[in-house]
Amino acid sequence: MTSPYRLQGRTAIVTGATRGIGHAVARHLAAAGALVCVTARDAEEVRRTAAELGGVGAAGSVADPDHLRAVVDLTLREFGRIDVVVNNAATNLPYGPLMDVEPLAWREAFTVNVEAPLRLVQCAWHAWMREHGGAVVNVCTEGAGHVGPNIGAYGTSKAALLHLTQQLAGELGPKVRVNSVSPGLVRTEMARFVWEPGEEEVAAGLPLGRIGEPEDVARAVVWLASDAAEWVTGADLLVDGGTRVRAAGAATGSAVQEHLRTRGTATP
């Protein structure tokens, strides 16, 4: 795999990088020349991914502040610098109407989806980026722009991450750029319960005629992380196959919303 974005000599932390979008992001960053530090909860998968990409890895949950500090320490110890942070790990739980959501489950969604990205950026900022600069990319969701059945906790937390992205972009310039990507429906484990039952139907309703692949999002992340985006901060890059603009096309209704309403059981 070759990349037009030169990241030789740079290093990147990617959370949730053992499968799906995070794995594609780490792979594309490594292909562009970056040394990567990958994370996830499953230690064996972390070891496998780090070895595959010639990088390092740390197993743990992003909900644990000690783990985030350890990730930054490891990256600095092994590579001597931190140029890119990609906050990708997330949970789409708790699933269901908000009136039924347990307070602890609601808090966990915000711990993983909002607090962890902030804490990781804090660690990277104090340890390296404040002095040397860098780029942060947060993985949000196209769904943060509107409401949907049963995904109130996920959508609300991702909307907060979008706001956090803009706030940090304003606070951390000019040394550090902070942007987000907002994917539409992508073929990963997290979203399997939505795309598997009705992929053709969902694809037919999209202007670009297919659901997303992890690589679609990875290419956008690498661009935002690279010097090609050196005058871009506080931006949210939609990578959604036209989901947001589908109402202007021939197809009617939203197959995704229908699957969320009727067939969904989100995965941890």
Ligand X SMILES: NC(=O)c1ccc[n+]([C@@H]2O[C@H](COP(=O)([O-])OP(=O)(O)OC[C@H]3O[C@@H](n4cnc5c(N)ncnc54)[C@H](OP(=O)(O)O)[C@@H]3O)[C@@H](O)[C@H]2O)c1
So which residues are the catalytic ones? 154
Q: Name the site residues for ligand X (rule: CB under 6 A).
A: 15-22, 39-42, 45, 61-63, 88-91, 112, 139, 141, 183, 185-186, 188-191
Look at residue 36 and give its three-state secondary structure.
strand
CB proximity list for 29: less than 8 A, separation 6 or greater: 7, 12, 14, 36, 84, 86, 221, 222, 225
Residue whose structure tokens are 């792979």: 27
Please report how close the Cβ of residue 140 comes to ligand X at its closest, in angstroms: 7
**Nearest partner of 72 among 64, 63, 62, 82, judged by Cα:** 82
Q: Name residue 219's amino acid.
A: R
> What is the C-alpha separation between 153 and 169, in angstroms, rounded?
24
CB proximity list for 267: less than 8 A, separation 6 or greater: 92, 189, 190, 192, 193
**Strand 134-139 relative to strand 84-87, pairing:** parallel
Q: Of the two residues 69 and 250, which places its CB atom closer to ligand X in the complex? A: 69
Residue 121 tokens read as 């950026």
Q: Of the two residues 41 and 210, which places its CB atom closer to ligand X in the complex? A: 41
Please report how close the Cβ of residue 260 comes to ligand X at its closest, in angstroms: 11
Q: Of the two residues 44 and 131, which places its CB atom closer to ligand X in the complex? A: 44
> What is the C-alpha separation between 26 and 34, in angstroms, rounded?
9
Please report how close the Cβ of residue 129 comes to ligand X at its closest, in angstroms: 21
Please report how close the Cβ of residue 233 comes to ligand X at its closest, in angstroms: 20
Please report how close the Cβ of residue 5 comes to ligand X at its closest, in angstroms: 20
Q: Of the two residues 135 and 139, which places its CB atom closer to ligand X in the complex? A: 139
> What is the C-alpha separation between 145 and 182, in angstroms, rounded?
9
Q: Of the two residues 19 and 81, which places its CB atom closer to ligand X in the complex? A: 19
